[in-house]
């Protein structure tokens, strides 16, 4: 719909006036509807309206911005997501048609604040002082869901724990239902609150944590406008705030320059470092992480699809832990948190591959004293070492079972695994992503057809071995139930969907990225009897592909959930096996040295695999096989630690410098446009043209005879190596902004030619001049 | 301040169905648009309705946005139109308390200086008589209908109509004059 950008023939006075009134808003309802109709029928009139919009719109600069309630944002994003999916309910998107149901009721309980003098004041009042400590009881009832009351909260369902068999199928459905029906921020809030007591307790018994000044969140806060106090604003400036209050356990966020949150994942690191620590402290810390994970998982469900994945992606417990600690310490409301999340969701890129390398290096080294990527490494260990106690994994492995059990009295084996797997899956996602870039592709490829494609030496052996893991399985279940208890609380939904690859991910993480693929086959073969095998493989493949796409975690979950149903029958078993393997993986992680050795050995020859078989049932062989596939990965990674750190610091500096430069540029940018004169010694028709390559603004002053009625000058840009572009049409002057111009780089632009043709007002072909070139010239730098 | 270019890029991405871009666009523009809408509608639930409508329109019309105008103005135009549509949908008694915002939110789209366009427009508005200027601003910011204005200015609707007509034509003439 080309917008008329030129001086158009004088419209009838009345039309002008009608358009102006329409834009001003003085028309009454019926007239307004009439004008809308007319706009649709009469493009010229629509152009008038747009012109008036453009004339008056600058006034918006004087309006006071108001932060909309966070749940409104979620609704809108949800609308968008639905409309993108062609969801039946998304048809409200269709332009002027108003959605009949008053679904967006934000605060039903609120009295109509019609013409309140201090609308905003009131609204932001409660939220502005989050420390007011509104008790849990006076939280207003959650806003009625637009569709159905639905399940009251994700947590109750999750906690009550569905029987082990059905979760794979039941959970995703549940999640979907919630996503549609629940007011998100309230949900988040409830979660935060549910976790609240546990947190305070844990913080109290854990060494660190300003448990004293906790600021309980009330739903009221969440419902109202996010406070706009400077502090909260500052917080929403997500990235800078990263290391806010982690003083106790800050670490150098160097590993991840691209992702500022890396700094936040730092707190987790100490745990992993302190492997020889006594149980309790570790467990406290770990339990906190677990909480963070729960919330994270729940958030994942609540966030509309557009933002999903982000949380999963960010689910390194350290990160969220820090986030939520901030909620508590600084009184950030759930809304703000969501906002921040959304913001980061929008800004973050998929994690850079080197994370994985770093993680690999970490895990590869037995003493993780100087971890490169604290948060990540921690995750990896965590994910791997869930069954730590059973074996002799690193110390923090112990924690997951011990603490969460007390804190949360829920034991649903299936639901329980969820969080773990979930976290693991994300890790896996990260891992696979990076692997994909390096050399993991080949590794993953063999996975699906592992029965069909026995060419690879490693795989047959693996199949033999996985029978071996079955013996360890008894061990695994022992370890499994406790963890399940712990996690069951919040995370359920997301978790349920992910299973197969999570396991693999869990395995993958501890030892090295290389193992991902090795594990895949193992697991697959383990389930070979059932059809699940194929799925697992599939799931993993899906995971990989998803990872390579933009939003890694989301798709992972989606796809797996989709594929799950078939495997349900075997699900419990499968899960157990998975756990067993995980356990194996832990052993692996614990005995990294051994694995490394094996890997080294394996790297020399492909057939080494059998040997590790004897050494240790599964893990060693895995490692060996993995190494056979990707010998070089873990080794170089270790050496790159300091390099990456240096790179990160450098990037940080550069970013800071750029920011400064930009700020400087903003301040000194003159708002006025410079004046230009064209001097001539005789009166010649001339067209003065000015193009701003930055903004794509095009200004034309024509000192020429007006074109005959029904015709107009059309302005063309003929850049070398590019299509000719119609910049606009005019009769005496033109001011337009062209996206095309803005996209061209200044170099080509300065070599471009500009033509003016005389054509009918409405061009026939959009990009072919229909009339003679009457003026021509070159662009030169001013 | 976010550059218009960036907003334009986001709009283009939204036209392609990019959710991330939409989320980002929402994040950037929602304070501004909500401010505009809430001022016109004054009631949160209606404002929420209008916001949804506005963003739905933004999503659908994004592909038509050709960058020929300031992107924020484009967004605001849609938001205002949506708010007005909602406002005119049902009859609500008019009242004229000034709209006050105790603590304005942080607006990513805020600019440090008033734009040239705004200054020109203000210059033109300044040329109107006080009453007529007020009328235009009331209509623009508060979405007052003719009827509401006639109450406010205690004048028959027909005169209001005539005044607005004269005001707008003067504004148009003033803006058309090259500075």
Identify the residue whose tokens are 């604003």: A233
Residues from chain A contacting residue B48 (CB–CB below 8 Å): 68-69, 72, 75, 104-106
> Could you tell me if A480 and A287 are in contact, meaning their C-beta atoms sit under 8 angstroms apart?
no
In the predicted structure, residue B55 carries a pLDDT above the cut 90: yes
Contacts of B136 in chain A (CB under 8 A): 24
ipTM exceeds 0.90, yes or no = yes
Would you call B121 and A121 a contact, using CB atoms and an 8 Å cutoff?
no
Count of Cβ atoms closer than 10 Å to residue B15 Cβ = 18
Q: Does the structure show a pLDDT above 70 at A150?
A: no
Cβ neighbours for A131, distance < 8 A, ≥ 6 positions apart: A213, A215, A331
**A272, A396 contact by CB (below 8 A):** yes
Q: Which band of pLDDT confidence, cut at 50, 70 and 90, is reported for residue A217?
A: very low
Whether residue A61 has pLDDT greater than 60 = yes
Chain A interface test: which of B3, B31, B58, B67 (most A C-beta within 10 Å): B67
- Please report which confidence band the pLDDT of residue B123 belongs to, taking 50, 70 and 90 as the band edges: confident
Distance of alpha carbon A225 from alpha carbon A69, whole angstroms: 5
Confidence tier at A730 by pLDDT (50, 70, 90): confident
pLDDT tens track for A630-668: 444 444 455 578 888 999 999 999 999 998 888 877 666
Give which of A75, A80, A82 to mutate to test B binding, by max B Cβ within 10 Å: A80
Taking the CA atoms of residue B47, residue B49, residue B50 and residue B54 in that order, the dihedral angle to the nearest 10 degrees is 140
Token readout for A465 is 């071995």
Closest CA relative to residue A515, chosen from A607, A641, A427: A427
- Which among B21, B45, B164 is the nearest to A24, CB-wise? B164
* Of A370, A263, A247, A245, the residue nearest A314 (C-alpha): A263
Name residue A646's beta-bridge partners. Answer: none
| Contacts of A653 by beta carbon, 8 Å cutoff, 6+ apart | none
Counted across chains A and B, CB pairs separated by less than 8 A come out at 320
Going through A527-624 in order, the beta strands assigned E by DSSP cover none
The residues near A773 (Cβ < 8 Å, ≥ 6 apart) are: A755, A756, A757
Cβ-contact A321, A269 below 8 angstroms: no
pLDDT of residue A715: 87
Give the single-character DSSP code of A276: T
- Nearest CB to B89 within list A29, A56, A695: A29
Q: Over range A274-296, report the average pLDDT.
A: 52
* Contact call for A59 and B121, based on CB within 8 A: yes
Distance CA A267, CA A202 (A): 15
Asked if B115 lies within 8 A of A58 by C-beta distance, the reply is yes
Select the residue from B168, B171, B173 to test the A interface by mutation, using most A Cβ atoms within 10 A: B168
Q: What is the pLDDT of residue A745?
A: 77
Q: Which residues contact A738 (CB under 8 A, 6 or more apart)?
A: A696, A697, A698, A717, A725, A727, A728, B67, B68
Evaluate if residue B54 carries a pLDDT over 90: yes
pLDDT band at A17 (very low <50, low <70, confident <90, very high): confident
Higher pLDDT: A555 or B167? It is B167
Give the orientation angle of helix A413-437 with respect to helix A500-511, to 10 degrees.
60
Provide the CB-side half-sphere exposure for A353 (13 A, CA).
14
Most confident of A135-139, A294-298, A383-387: A294-298
Mean pLDDT of A178-204: 48
Q: What are phi and psi of A519, to 5 degrees?
A: -60, -40
Q: How far apart are CA A534 and CA A449, in angstroms?
A: 8
Q: What pLDDT digit, counting tens, does each position of A323-364 carry?
A: 555 554 455 555 556 565 555 555 543 333 333 333 333 333
Enumerate the residues of chain B whose CB falls inside 8 A of the CB of residue A739. Answer: 8, 12, 66-67
* Amino acid A692: pLDDT: 79
Asked whether the predicted pLDDT for residue A39 surpasses 50, the reply is yes
Cα–Cα distance measured from residue A416 to residue A414, given in angstroms and rounded to the nearest whole number: 5
Give pairs for A10-19: CB < 8 Å, separation 24+.
Answer: A11/A44, A11/A45, A11/A48, A13/B169, A15/A45, A15/A48, A16/A48, A16/B168, A16/B169, A16/B172, A17/B164, A17/B165, A17/B168, A17/B169, A18/A45, A19/A45, A19/A48, A19/A49, A19/A51, A19/A52
Of the CA atoms within 13 Å of residue A255, those in its CB half-sphere come to 30
Residue A458 has pLDDT above 80, yes or no: no
Tell me, what's the pLDDT at B50?
92
**Does the distance separating the beta carbons of A65 and B27 come in below 8 Å?**
no
Compute the distance between CA of residue A565 and CA of residue A111 in angstroms, rounded to an integer.
47
Chain B nearest C-alpha distance from A678 (Å):
17
> Do residue B5 and residue A107 have CB atoms under 8 angstroms apart?
no
Q: What is the separation of C-alpha A100 from the centre of its chain, rounded to a whole number of angstroms?
A: 32
Q: What is the mean pLDDT of chain B?
A: 84
Question: Over the stretch A357-414, which tens digit does the pLDDT of each residue have?
Answer: 333 333 333 333 333 333 333 333 333 333 333 333 333 333 333 333 333 333 333 3
Vertex A277 angle, CA A276 and A278, to 5°: 125
Residue listed under structure tokens 């990674």: A637
Q: What are phi and psi of A449, to 5 degrees?
A: -90, 40
Nearest alpha-carbon partner for A483 in A530, A419, A426: A419
How many Å apart are CA A45 and CA A292, to the nearest integer? Answer: 56
**Range of weakest confidence among A1-15, A106-120, A673-687, B145-159:** A106-120
Question: Does the pLDDT value for residue B145 go beyond 90?
Answer: no
Instruction: Report CB contact under 8 Å: A736, B12.
Output: no
Least CA distance to B16: which residue of chain A? A84
Q: What is the largest CA-CA distance in chain B?
A: 50
In the predicted model, is pLDDT for residue A219 greater than 70? Answer: no
Torsion of CA A166, A482, A334, A172, to 10 degrees: -10
Distance set, CA A765 to CA A205, A488, A726, A744, A762 (Å):
74, 63, 11, 23, 9
pLDDT over 70 at B142, yes or no:
yes
The mean pLDDT of chain A is: 51
CA distance A515 to A492: 27
> In residues, how long is chain B?
179
pLDDT at A33: 87
Rounded distance, CA A203 to CA A65, Å? 38
Minimum Cα–Cα distance from A101: chain B residue: B49
Nearest 10 degrees: Cα torsion A547, A552, A555, A557 = 100
Check residue A206 and report its DSSP letter.
S
A653: its two tokens: 């500096």
Choose, out of B9, B36, B103, B149, the residue to mutate when testing the contact with A (most A CBs < 10 Å).
B103
Provide the pLDDT for residue A678. 72
Mean pLDDT to the nearest integer, A660-681: 69
Confidence of residue B99 (pLDDT cuts 50, 70, 90): low
* A471, pLDDT greater than 50: no
Query: How many Å lie between the alpha carbon of A632 and the closest alpha carbon of chain B?
Result: 36
Q: Which residues of B touch A56 (CB under 8 A)?
A: 121, 140
Test A346 with B59 for CB contact under 8 angstroms.
no
Backbone phi, psi, residue A236, to 5°: -65, -15
Chain A residues lying within 8 Å of B103, measured CB to CB: 120-121, 124, 128, 227-229
* Residue B161 pLDDT > 50: yes
Q: In what order do the strands lie in the sheet with A725-730?
A: A725-730, A711-718, A753-760, A773-778
Contact A24 B99 (CB under 8 A): no
pLDDT for the residue numbered A339: 60
User: Is residue B34 a contact partner of residue A67, using CB atoms and an 8 Å limit?
Assistant: yes
Alpha carbon distance A619, A580 (integer Å): 11
Distance CA A364, CA A599 (A): 10
């Amino acid at each position: 719909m080309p917008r008329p950008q030129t001086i158009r023939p004088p419209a009838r006075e009345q039309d002008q006036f009608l358009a102006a009134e329409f834009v001003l808003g003085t028309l009454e309802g019926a007239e307004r509807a009439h004008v809308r109709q007319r706009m649709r029928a009469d493009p010229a009139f629509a152009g008038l309206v747009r012109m008036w919009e453009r004339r008056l719109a600058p006034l918006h600069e004087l309006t006071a911005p108001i932060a909309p309630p966070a749940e409104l944002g979620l609704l809108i994003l949800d609308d968008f997501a639905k409309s993108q999916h062609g969801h039946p309910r998304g048809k409200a998107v269709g332009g002027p048609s108003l959605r009949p149901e008053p679904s967006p009721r934000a605060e039903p309980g609120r009295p109509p604040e019609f013409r309140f003098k201090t609308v905003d004041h009131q609204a932001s009042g409660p939220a502005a002082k989050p420390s007011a400590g509104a008790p849990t009881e006076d939280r207003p009832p959650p806003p009625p869901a637009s569709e159905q009351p639905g399940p009251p909260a994700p947590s109750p369902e999750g906690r009550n724990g569905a029987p082990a068999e059905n979760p794979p199928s039941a959970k995703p459905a549940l999640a979907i239902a919630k996503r549609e029906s629940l007011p998100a921020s309230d949900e988040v809030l409830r979660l935060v609150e549910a976790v609240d007591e546990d947190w305070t307790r844990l913080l109290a018994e854990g060494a660190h944590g300003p448990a004293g000044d906790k600021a309980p969140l009330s739903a009221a806060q969440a419902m109202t406008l996010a406070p706009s106090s400077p502090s909260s604003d500052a917080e929403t400036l997500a990235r800078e705030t990263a290391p806010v209050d982690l003083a106790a356990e800050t670490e150098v966020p160097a590993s991840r320059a691209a992702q500022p949150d890396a700094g936040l994942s730092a707190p987790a690191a100490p745990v992993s470092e302190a492997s020889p620590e006594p149980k309790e402290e570790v467990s406290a810390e770990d339990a906190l992480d677990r909480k963070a994970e729960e919330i994270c998982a729940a958030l994942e469900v609540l966030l509309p699809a557009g933002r999903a994945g982000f949380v999963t992606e960010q689910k390194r417990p350290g990160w969220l832990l820090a986030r939520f600690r901030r909620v508590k310490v600084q009184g950030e409301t759930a809304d703000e948190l969501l906002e921040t999340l959304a913001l980061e969701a929008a800004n973050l890129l998929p994690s850079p591959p080197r994370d994985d390398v770093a993680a690999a290096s970490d895990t590869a080294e037995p003493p993780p004293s100087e971890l490169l990527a604290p948060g990540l490494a921690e995750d990896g260990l965590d994910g791997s070492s869930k069954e730590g106690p059973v074996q002799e994994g690193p110390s923090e492995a112990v924690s997951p079972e011990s603490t969460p059990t007390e804190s949360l009295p829920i034991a649903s084996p299936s639901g329980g695994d969820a969080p773990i797997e979930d976290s693991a899956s994300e890790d896996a996602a990260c891992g696979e992503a990076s692997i994909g870039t390096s050399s993991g592709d080949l590794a993953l490829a063999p996975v699906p057809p592992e029965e069909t494609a026995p060419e690879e030496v490693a795989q047959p052996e693996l199949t033999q071995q996985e029978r071996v893991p079955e013996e360890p399985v008894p061990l695994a279940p022992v370890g499994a139930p406790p963890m399940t208890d712990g996690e069951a609380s919040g995370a359920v939904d997301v978790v349920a969907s992910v299973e197969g690859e999570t396991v693999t991910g869990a395995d993958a993480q501890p030892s090295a990225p290389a193992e991902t693929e090795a594990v895949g086959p193992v697991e697959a073969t383990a389930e070979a009897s059932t059809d699940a095998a194929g799925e697992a493989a599939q799931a993993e493949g899906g995971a990989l592909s998803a990872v390579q796409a933009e939003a890694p975690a989301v798709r992972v979950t989606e796809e797996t959930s989709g594929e799950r149903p078939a495997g349900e029958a075997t699900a419990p078993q499968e899960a157990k096996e998975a756990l067993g393997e995980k356990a194996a993986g832990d052993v692996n992680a614990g005995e990294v040295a051994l694995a490394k050795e094996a890997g080294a050995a394996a790297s020399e020859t492909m057939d080494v695999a059998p040997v590790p078989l004897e050494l240790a049932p599964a893990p060693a062989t895995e490692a060996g096989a993995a190494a056979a596939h990707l010998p070089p990965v873990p080794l170089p990674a270790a050496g790159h630690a300091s390099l990456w750190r240096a790179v990160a610091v450098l990037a940080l500096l550069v970013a800071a410098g750029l920011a400064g430069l930009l700020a400087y540029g903003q301040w000194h940018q003159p708002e006025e446009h410079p004046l230009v004169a064209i001097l001539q010694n005789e009166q010649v028709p001339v067209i003065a043209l000015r193009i701003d390559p930055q903004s794509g603004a095009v200004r034309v002053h024509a000192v020429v005879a007006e074109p005959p009625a029904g015709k107009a000058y059309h302005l063309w840009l003929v850049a070398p190596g590019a299509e000719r572009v119609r910049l606009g049409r005019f009769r005496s002057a033109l001011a337009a902004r062209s996206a095309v111009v803005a996209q061209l780089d200044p170099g080509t632009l300065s070599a471009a030619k500009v033509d003016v043709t005389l054509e009918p007002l409405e061009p026939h072909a959009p990009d072919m001049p229909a009339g003679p070139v009457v003026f021509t010239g070159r662009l030169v730098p001013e | 301040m976010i550059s218009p270019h960036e907003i334009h890029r986001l709009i283009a991405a939204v036209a392609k169905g990019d959710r991330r871009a939409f989320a980002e666009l929402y994040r950037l523009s929602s304070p501004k648009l909500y401010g505009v809408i809430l001022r016109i509608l004054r009631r949160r639930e209606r404002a929420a309705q209008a916001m949804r409508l506005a963003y739905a329109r933004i999503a659908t019309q994004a592909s038509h946005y050709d960058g020929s105008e300031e992107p924020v103005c484009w967004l605001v135009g849609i938001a205002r139109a949506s708010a007005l549509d909602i406002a005119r949908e049902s009859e609500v008694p008019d009242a004229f308390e000034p709209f006050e915002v105790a603590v304005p939110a942080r607006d990513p789209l805020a600019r440090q200086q008033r734009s040239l366009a705004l200054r020109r427009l203000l210059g033109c508005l300044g040329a109107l008589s006080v009453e007529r200027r007020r009328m235009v601003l009331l209509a623009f910011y508060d979405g007052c209908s003719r009827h509401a204005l006639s109450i406010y200015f205690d004048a028959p609707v027909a005169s209001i109509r005539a005044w607005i007509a004269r005001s707008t034509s003067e504004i148009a003439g003033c803006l058309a004059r090259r500075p």
